[in-house]
Amino acid sequence: MGLLDQLKSQATEIKSQRIGIERDLLANTAQTEAACSIAIPYLRELAKHLTVLEPNGPRYSLDGKTPWPAMKLIKFNADSRKKVLRDKEVVDTVSIGWTIIPKMGVPVGGAVTLTFLPQVDQVQQILNHAHIEYNRQEQRHPERKNLQSVRFEYTTQAKGNITVTADHDAAQLVFRLANVNGFGLVTHVIDAARINSDLLDELAKLIMAQESAFA
């Protein structure tokens, strides 16, 4: 085989590989868009109904010891965003968010004091991610000036949300749950082929602090 024949064979193989990759990407993109077309109307309808129902929230605590009062979830809203991928407009994210307030009465003040300093950053991240109004007070040793404890004073009102990011190349949806089952962030990666109303029903149960098989 001459050099030109070798080059032709190699080029043909590479072209074949590229065609296969492009075909797979197109199929994955179509499957991901189909999953988003199920999730978007479901979350919009869910937001409308839960805004009326104002379901109970889960148990909340910043440090795992100091409980918040019984909370409820209000003012749900759903949204979706687009992006351009390979010269075509596709879904980027789908989301649903809500406000967390006391079930009875109005938001009240609370406080936690942390002496285990590695926990301080964790609690402050929760406060920031949940959009909780707070004030931080530090207690330092009078002579050595090293940090001994941190006291967070806060208001019992927060935000929760679920953001679903579409990964079209992998045919997956990435669910980022913020303050859903208590405070904190949890991420679940789910194949687009698995997205259906039954799975989203389990997600809705999770939001309403009911037993759920979503995870």
What is the extent of the structural domain holding 66? 3-207
Q: What are the respective helix, strand and coil percentages of the chain, to the nearest 5?
A: 35, 35, 25
Is the CB of residue 93 less than 8 Å from the CB of residue 163? yes
Is residue 55 assigned to a domain?
A: yes
Is residue 153 assigned to a domain?
A: yes
Q: What is the pTM of this model?
A: 0.86
Is residue 215 assigned to a domain?
A: no
Is residue 213 assigned to a domain?
A: no
Is residue 214 assigned to a domain?
A: no
Give the count of domains, the chain: 1
Is residue 60 assigned to a domain?
A: yes
Is residue 174 assigned to a domain?
A: yes
Per-residue pLDDT of the chain (215 residues; tens, 9 = 90+): 687 778 677 777 787 777 777 888 899 999 999 999 999 999 999 999 999 999 999 999 999 999 999 999 999 999 999 999 989 999 999 999 999 999 999 999 999 999 888 899 999 999 999 999 999 998 887 777 778 899 999 999 999 999 999 999 999 999 999 999 999 999 999 999 999 999 999 999 999 999 999 97
Is residue 185 assigned to a domain?
A: yes
Please, which residues have CB within 8 angstroms of residue 191's CB and are 6 or more apart in sequence?
171, 172
Closest CA to 176 of 95, 120, 116, 103: 95
What's the pLDDT at 157? 98
